[in-house]
A and B are shown apart, each in its own frame.
Chain A
Amino acid sequence: MAKTLFEKVWDAHIVHKIDDSTEVLYIDRHLVHEVTSPQAFAGLEKRGIEVFRTQNTVATPDHNVPTKDQHLPIQEELSRLQVAKLKYNCEKFGVQMFGLGHPNHGIVHIIGPELGITQPGMTIVCGDSHTSTHGAFGAIAFGIGTSQVESVLATQCLLLSKPKTMKIQIDGKLGKGVLSKDIILYIISKISSSGGTGYFVEYCGSAIESLSMEARMTVCNMSIEMGARGGMIAPDQTTFDYIEGREHAPKGENWGKAVAYWKSLKTDEGAKFDEELYINAEEIGPMVTYGTNPGMGVRVDNHIPTLENIEGENNRITFKKSLEYMGFNPGDNMIGKKIDWIFIGSCTNGRIEDLRIFADYVKGKKKAAHVNDLIVPGSKQVENQARAEGLDKIIEEAGFKFREPGCSACLAMNEDKVPKEQYSISTSNRNFEGRQGPGARTILASPLTVAAAAVNGYITNVAEEI
């Protein structure tokens, strides 16, 4: 029977079938961080059991860590304790951990691909919803809660019900100044922040195939922002070229065998999806969000909708509440909105290509005087690569600071916070109320749109600038 990519990978991991809707699935890779794991390790202690497969498990502290002076002890007490707890648990249970300052340290979803841990055809989980990032390699990757973290530590398995499948096909050529971040913000603005709930998405089409691995990761990363369990892209030569030679990539004769298997990981002709969506790449322009969920996005050259454009009384209530929080009016033009903060980073756009895009734009220009900046590489490797390419110099000459890796203002668990009622244009993935600090107002955009706002001090349409 013709199968989708998702079904091929899922079926290859079934350990036990309970009934038609519930299965025990084997998990190939488990990424662990400090926030969602302590209670899971405590659960193992309570049961008196070990980590079942330490070799399938990798840990790193990322959510809580400062992005300055990482060689010094962490100032904030609770963060320091949580990071120390991860180290304690990893030592006790024999799990490999990349701590602060280690050349492999970074945001979990950045280091997995970087180290070649993430490979096509795998099942990958982490106690973090943006695990969907790894789907860019043709893996089934999704976020789990702490009870499930405990389950994977204890058994390398999860009890799951199989999601439905959705195909999102994007064909055509992307316009000037349009990046993969714009593709995903556009999709979410079309289907809403709950339109993908219950589904696992496969992205395909010529516009997706033309993307680099890093750009594909940005798309898959935000699958969760439309409610989907995850998103994936069939592996191709771009994927193989990215993986080859990385630390954990298959070597020698195994490489050939792996690639031969990976080539079989694509949706068969005639396979059925539960839902299909087709998009013409030319419809997509540089995007920004105006509200408090990622579905509230518009092309930057469009206006915020007016109340009449919003269907349903409850949606209108949410829309009004959201605009009130943001300090915007229905029908406002997004171009020209003043910006107080910029954030470059996160597992969505904290990779080397994102820094190159930012540096390339700001090169020889100056930061607008009133703008505050948080420029945070996604990992130590990204940081080191940026330094090797001189991007740190370009960034600093333009008046910005270049920081050390971590999640930073993506969720503001460390000291990198945006103050109340200030506007932050951010390459991260969530514009929820208070996400970047209590009362902070977040506008999501691509690294290029953020770079332009950083220099101009307000939102512009990059498509007209370059």
Chain B
Amino acid sequence: MEKFQTLVSTAVPLQVEDVDTDQIIPARFLKATTRDGFGENLFRDWRYNPDGSLKEDFVLNNSKFSGDILVGGKNFGSGSSREHAAWAIRDFPFKVVVSSFFADIFKGNALNNGLLPVQVSESFLSKIFSAIEADPKTELKVDLENQTITLVSTREAECFEISDYKKVCLLNGYDDIDFIISKKAEILEFEKNQVKF
């Protein structure tokens, strides 16, 4: 996994609540057997017309907006456990998703793929949306070490939460599996003591 440290970037505002994983990547695009290429179909039905042409009014198709950060409305990533949703966003590529509330499984999947979910307050989220609306060149700074997100122009900042363990993983590009494999003796001990019927 790629290391994540500090990022300064413009952002793409997706001002929609309850963005579910079926919108992020519809089921019919889940047939691949590798992790690559999902970015192409990110937000497929919002982004493309049925004939494959681009829907011009969708933010991802609006050349005004660009950057490594996706800003979404409340309850981002609800629905299915498909990790393909995190892959598609990471593959697009975005490196950070900002929202005022994330669904649990999506959040975990994002963290396992070097995509940082930054949860901010409702009021800070509105500020970000307004700032980008006023000036699409608005930059956000995401500092993982200090767990802060800042609107660069006004220096308004907010702290975000992340578990200590996951922070270390992201900063260093570690994954869970290496860590658990290193605990094999404890797993075997656990199995020995487990009551089975």
A148 at the interface (CB under 8 A from B): yes
A258 at the interface (CB under 8 A from B): yes
Q: Which of A326-334, A359-367, A431-439 contacts B (4 or more CB under 8 A)?
A: A431-439
CA distance A412 to B31 in the complex (A): 12
CA distance A63 to B83 in the complex (A): 15
Query: At the interface, is chain A mostly helix, strand, loop or mixed?
Result: mixed
- A128-B81, A161-B163 are contacts. A194–B177 as well, Cβ < 8 Å? no
Which residue of chain B lies nearest to A146 when distances are taken between CB atoms in the complex?
B83
CA distance A39 to B112 in the complex (A): 14
Q: Which of B32, B84, B197 has the most CB of A within 10 A?
A: B197
Cβ contact within 8 Å between A254 and B73 = no
- What distance in Å separates the Cβ of A447 from its nearest Cβ neighbour in chain B? 22
Q: Which of B2-10, B62-70, B103-111, B139-147 contacts A (4 or more CB under 8 A)?
A: B103-111
A309 at the interface (CB under 8 A from B): no
Cβ contact within 8 Å between B74 and A127 = no
Which residue of chain A lies nearest to B30 when distances are taken between CB atoms in the complex?
A35
CA distance A438 to B22 in the complex (A): 11
Q: Which of A152-160, A172-180, A345-353, A397-405 contacts B (4 or more CB under 8 A)?
A: A152-160
Cβ contact within 8 Å between B197 and A258 = yes
- A36-B82, A39-B33 are contacts. A159–B180 as well, Cβ < 8 Å? yes
- A129-B105, A155-B187, A293-B78 are contacts. A36–B194 as well, Cβ < 8 Å? no
Cβ contact within 8 Å between B31 and A145 = no
- What distance in Å separates the Cβ of A195 from its nearest Cβ neighbour in chain B? 10
B57 at the interface (CB under 8 A from A): no
Residues of A within 8 A of B26 (CB): 434, 438
Within 73-120 of B, Cβ neighbours of A (below 8 Å) are at 73-75, 78-84, 86, 101-105, 108-109, 112-113
- A144-B81, A293-B78, A318-B16 are contacts. A194–B187 as well, Cβ < 8 Å? no
CA distance A38 to B23 in the complex (A): 22
B50 at the interface (CB under 8 A from A): yes
Within 18-33 of B, Cβ neighbours of A (below 8 Å) are at 18, 20, 22-23, 26-28, 30-33
Residues of A within 8 A of B155 (CB): none
CA distance A35 to B38 in the complex (A): 14
Cβ contact within 8 Å between B27 and A194 = no
- A26-B194, A82-B31 are contacts. A147–B183 as well, Cβ < 8 Å? no
A317 at the interface (CB under 8 A from B): yes
Residues of B within 8 A of A146 (CB): 83-84, 109
A16 at the interface (CB under 8 A from B): yes
Interchain CB contact (< 8 A) of B22 among A36, A63, A151, A435 = A435
Cβ contact within 8 Å between B75 and A157 = no
A466 at the interface (CB under 8 A from B): no
- What distance in Å separates the Cβ of A160 from its nearest Cβ neighbour in chain B? 9
Which residue of chain B lies nearest to A149 when distances are taken between CB atoms in the complex?
B83
Cβ contact within 8 Å between B73 and A438 = no
Residues of A within 8 A of B20 (CB): 293, 430, 432
Interchain CB contact (< 8 A) of A15 among B105, B108, B175, B187 = B187
- What distance in Å separates the Cβ of B109 from its nearest Cβ neighbour in chain A? 4
Cβ contact within 8 Å between B83 and A193 = no
CA distance A438 to B46 in the complex (A): 11
Residues of B within 8 A of A156 (CB): 187
Within 105-153 of A, Cβ neighbours of B (below 8 Å) are at 119, 127-129, 143-148, 150-151
Interchain CB contact (< 8 A) of B181 among A18, A127, A155 = A155
- What distance in Å separates the Cβ of A431 from its nearest Cβ neighbour in chain B? 10
Cβ contact within 8 Å between B103 and A413 = no
A370 at the interface (CB under 8 A from B): no
Interchain CB contact (< 8 A) of B18 among A38, A129, A293 = A293
CA distance A285 to B46 in the complex (A): 35
**Cross-chain pairs A/B with CB under 8 angstroms, 13 sampled:** A21-B163, A36-B81, A39-B33, A43-B177, A154-B177, A154-B180, A197-B101, A227-B78, A227-B103, A227-B104, A293-B18, A412-B27, A435-B27
- List residues of chain A with CB under 8 Å of any chain B CB: 15-16, 18-19, 21-22, 24, 26, 35-36, 38-39, 42-43, 47, 49, 63-64, 78-79, 81-82, 85, 119, 127-129, 143-148, 150-151, 154-159, 161, 163, 193-194, 197-198, 227, 229, 250, 254-255, 257-258, 261, 293, 314-315, 317-318, 321, 411-413, 430, 432-435, 438
Beyond A35-B82, A157-B187, 11 additional contacts (C-beta under 8 Å) are: A15-B187, A24-B186, A35-B30, A36-B82, A146-B109, A155-B184, A198-B104, A227-B104, A315-B17, A412-B27, A413-B30
